[in-house]
Structure 1
Amino acid sequence: MQRILEEERNTQRKVAEVLQQALQVGVGLEKQHEEKVQARREDVGKVFPDSPLFKEWGGSLSEDEQREAQALFDKYGYNVFLSDRLPLNRPLPETRDPRCLKRTYPKDLPTVGVVLIYLNEALSIIKRAMRSIIDRTPKNLLKEIIMVDDNSSNENLKGDLDMYVKSLQEENPGLRIARVRHTEQRGLAYARASGWRAATADVVAILDAHIEVHKMWAEPLLTQIKGDRTVVTSPVFDRVNFDDLKVIPYLSAAHAFDWALWCMYEGFSPDYYKLNDSSLPGKSPSVMGILVADRKYLGEVGLLDEGMKVYGGENVELGIRVWTCGGSIEVVPCSKIAHIERFHKPYLPDLSPAMRRNALRVAEVWMDEYKHNVNLAWNLPFENHGIDIGDVSERKKIREKLNCKPFKWYLDNVYPKLDPWDNLLAYGGMKNLDADLCIDQGPVPGHTPISFHCYYYGPQMVYYRTTGELYVGGIKSHKYNDNRCLTDAGQKNTEPGLYNCKEAINLLFQGKELKNRQTKRCLEIIKGVLLIQECTGQRWTIQNIIKELK
């Protein structure tokens, strides 16, 4: 019996040794396989080493996959290759202020109709937007989704999207899904107005189609509108990276703009921060474009300016109009929407011409004596700028009918941070008539202006104020920003400087000379070099005179 047990134990040891050897061989083979795969990946490398798409993402893709991803990125401006592989109902991170999680909202809120605007959007992006809206909006509040196609050319936005919409309607029989298709591209303002016209809900939420809504996104907005039907609201947008589609939390901020009417984020008023509660709604001078408002009120106040073309300006026009005509704008931090930040937009390679034209249109209708600040921002003459802004007579009638306040009231009471530029005397390129050269801001970063042949573009833009300040290279739109002034650094220095105007010893126009009041020295050009020296009578001229130079 003892011998049998010994033999059995020996057999078990041999089996164990064989199994261990086999396991080691298996691990070794697996490791070799991983090393070969990694080596192949390293051999592949980046097919598009300079592409922003692959700066942080895509290291494990094959060459064919990289080419497919890059082609889609070139077309859409975001990572469609990845989007097509993500779940349509992917979870979003919780990014709200913790105080938002404790808030409760009325049960008898108004219904909402969501308008999704798109032009050649990726199919998976639109599907994910619709899925998030349906999944994260209470069924008793979500009355309809209205899809506005601004004449897309993508084939899959026809039959394939139709099939998806049909499946959603079958899953949600009480939900209305309407389709609006333009037969020609009309631009954002017209598309948003088309969606509004198709809506029937109490409140309309006009959104881009490259979004995903967070849970509880609708209730905070609807609560504000229920309390005051004249308030136009905006959620806070979290950024979705264009490359890896990760959600980056954004803090709440006011939606502002500069005199060129480009949008920007800005702090709320000092009174807001005294409340020490960043979950509270904050007043805002404007909206970024995504907006939620009482449907009937939006129509009463003039909807959107459908005379705007392509992109930009309609949101600033709405903000000015709502405020001056009796309403208000609020950003609501407890409402969050994740919004893809495109690397490039689908409308035009350069949106500046459309933005400039639309900005001039806003200025003509709403800005009164301050309308020329838009010309200044775009470096255009005050008269005969040669840009057709279209017929604005109907928009002026709306302003008159609603008995809206003047733009100065808006500057004083709603947007006091915007510098009114009301003491500018002249602007444009500044030319030395003797040397036939212009002042140029020179290398940036740097503080040394130079003389250069006159091309009258950004680095040569000069602005002269009654204070004697001579800005070079641009003028800032806001009071909280300092400009760079042309400076005489003192008797021991013959090199002019460009420094913050609060620190500058300024040069003044005196006749045709540019002379410093304290040092009595002049800005002159000697052998092509810009110098501060004893005056020899060199003459300067500036492109555009607003008021008489003394």
Structure 2
Amino acid sequence: MFHLYIEVPQKREENVDVDVFPDSSLFTHWGRGLTPENRRVALKKFQYYGYNSYLSDQLSLDRSIPDLRPDGCRNITYPANLPQVSVVFIFVNEAPSVVLRSMHSVISKTPAHLLKEIVLVDDHSNNDELKEKLQAYVDEANARQPGFVKMIRHTKQEGLIRSRVSGWRAATAPVVALFDAHVEFSVQWAEPILSRIKEDRTRIISPSFDNIKYDNFEIEEYPLSAQGFDWELWCRYLNPPKEWWKLGNSTAPIRSPALIGCFVVDRLYFEEIGLLDEGMEIYGGENVELSVRVWQCGGSVEVLPCSRLAHIERAHKPYTEDLTTHVRRNALRVAEVWMDEFKSHVYMAWNIPIENSGIDIGDISNRKALRQRLQCRSFNWYLHNVYPEMRMYTDTVAYGMLKNVLKNDLCLDQGPDTDNIPILYICHGMTSQPVITDQKEQKELTLLLSCIAYMAHS
């Protein structure tokens, strides 16, 4: 095992001012014993990383996390001749201790004969501390086991999507696991996944996720879930399908409409199915696109209860403060290539006109050619056979913001949550104002608008 020694901040002092930065979410459940100066240091690090790197630096790189697998998982035996895996970690300006803990965790929780290599993809970090400490660790690791850790450094920032493809290109094992670099692994995480892929190489697998709390690094258990998305293509957890519950077996694979993020895939199948859409920007929507494509083109997506991974849910994202712009653009690419007549649902969700949206989604000709070459099913098939829980709008009359004709700076809004009575409010175009109207609702809405307009004019 390899070690990194990190300087621990000075010993906590008694009778300190606990009201320094009282409004920061970092100190809601942590840090009451810190001096004001150490609170300032911790807050500065939190604002940079989006999690409590001050605390992370004091935790063991080899700390144990609770085994939250269903009880039946402990009684399962797996084949001895499982394929090897390359584990890829993607990061930009990550705290060194967090990256190193991810690496230590995967090494300690994966049988040595199954873990072929670790691939680190640094998406053009400008954090010198990260570069120095990580390179020292890589050099030490490779001195013990030549070639075990590969380092890919981008000369410009490519975003999470293209970074994952960079990691895949560097990997050499039959199976590739593409993970964020702020995770910790539970015992026997790899064997269930490798076993399922060995049985069927067209399966793409997600572990079940738990949460590493960003403020105190405690592990929060998440319930077993499938993974899905809404029409804006934001990811969401779903209840496992009824068929899974009927099995009465909490260790059984969960059929999932989509992937939330981290996933494991047969290396060659990933190429055959088209990798990720590198025409997308930064991140957001790429995992939905991959999931829809895999299902429509003959593969499947599963979440495994017996493989668990703890993941830091950051307080804020590292790439950009304007993530919504990139997710919207990426979502429209998915809609235009894969969603057929249902692409209008994505435009409606984002409140964008279908024609002349003004959003440049880039060249999608290669992705359309990929779909034709793979002879994929329709999105209608996907909705009815894979994601029947997804609401469909089949008799839409109109969508958009509803403006008052007498005072056109006022729009229909949802009103206070307490009574949910529609109101007029200054037009802002955010999520509480877009309206989708079907034929049944049209008359009621027309009457409602007439009443509101009359009252506003009065």
Query: 1:51 & 1:126 partners in 2: Cα distance?
Result: 25
1:115 aligned residue: 88
- Residue 135 of structure 2 is aligned to residue 162 of structure 1: yes
Kept in 2, the 8 Å contact 1:146–1:198? The answer is: yes
Deviations 1:141-173 (A, max 9, x none): 0001000011110012222211111222234x2
Question: C-alpha root-mean-square deviation of aligned residues, in Å?
Answer: 1.7
2:454 aligned residue: 526
Query: Out of 360, 366, 375, which is 2:347 matched to?
Result: 375
1:94 Cα offset (Å): 1.3
1:188 Cα offset (Å): 1.0
Kept in 2, the 8 Å contact 1:240–1:338? The answer is: yes
Kept in 2, the 8 Å contact 1:230–1:328? The answer is: yes
1:486 aligned residue: none
- 1:355-374 matches, cutoff 5 A: 355-374=327-346
Identity %: 49
- Residue 160 of structure 2 is aligned to residue 232 of structure 1: no
Deviations 1:430-473 (A, max 9, x none): 2343455433322233232223454444333222102x226xxx
Deviations 1:360-391 (A, max 9, x none): 01111111111111111111011111111111
1:136 aligned residue: 109
1:508 Cα offset (Å): 5.4
2:377 aligned residue: 405
Query: Out of 256, 264, 268, which is 1:284 matched to?
Result: 256
- 1:29-40 matches, cutoff 5 A: 38=14, 40=15
- Residue 435 of structure 2 is aligned to residue 507 of structure 1: no
- Residue 368 of structure 2 is aligned to residue 431 of structure 1: no
1:268 Cα offset (Å): 1.9
2:40 aligned residue: 67
Query: 2:429 & 2:56 partners in 1: Cα distance?
Result: 45
Structure with bigger RCO (C-alpha 8 Å, 6+ apart): 2
Query: 2:418 & 2:133 partners in 1: Cα distance?
Result: 51
Query: 1:455 & 1:88 partners in 2: Cα distance?
Result: 47
Q: Provide closer, same or farther for how the CA distance between residues 158 and 424 of structure 1 changes in structure 2, counting only shifts above 3 A.
A: same
1:20 aligned residue: none
Q: What amino acid is the match of 2:105? A: S
Q: Structure 1: any 5+ residue segments left out of the alignment? A: 1-36, 471-505, 517-521, 531-550
Query: 1:425 & 1:385 partners in 2: Cα distance?
Result: 19
Q: Structure 2: any 5+ residue segments left out of the alignment? A: 1-12
Kept in 2, the 8 Å contact 1:79–1:242? The answer is: yes
After TM superposition, the score normalised by the length of structure 1 is: 0.78
Number of aligned positions between the proteins: 445
Q: Provide closer, same or farther for how the CA distance between residues 515 and 359 of structure 1 changes in structure 2, counting only shifts above 3 A.
A: closer
Query: 1:438 & 1:86 partners in 2: Cα distance?
Result: 52
1:153 aligned residue: 126
1:207 Cα offset (Å): 0.5
Q: Provide closer, same or farther for how the CA distance between residues 438 and 325 of structure 1 changes in structure 2, counting only shifts above 3 A.
A: same
Q: Provide closer, same or farther for how the CA distance between residues 114 and 525 of structure 1 changes in structure 2, counting only shifts above 3 A.
A: same
Secondary structure of residue in 1 paired with 2:329:
helix
Q: What amino acid is the match of 2:451? A: L
Larger radius of gyration: 1
- 1:461-540 matches, cutoff 5 A: 461-466=434-439, 468-469=440-441, 507=444, 509=446, 514=447, 523-528=451-456
Q: Provide closer, same or farther for how the CA distance between residues 381 and 338 of structure 1 changes in structure 2, counting only shifts above 3 A.
A: same
2:173 aligned residue: 201
2:9 aligned residue: none
Query: 1:252 & 1:292 partners in 2: Cα distance?
Result: 18
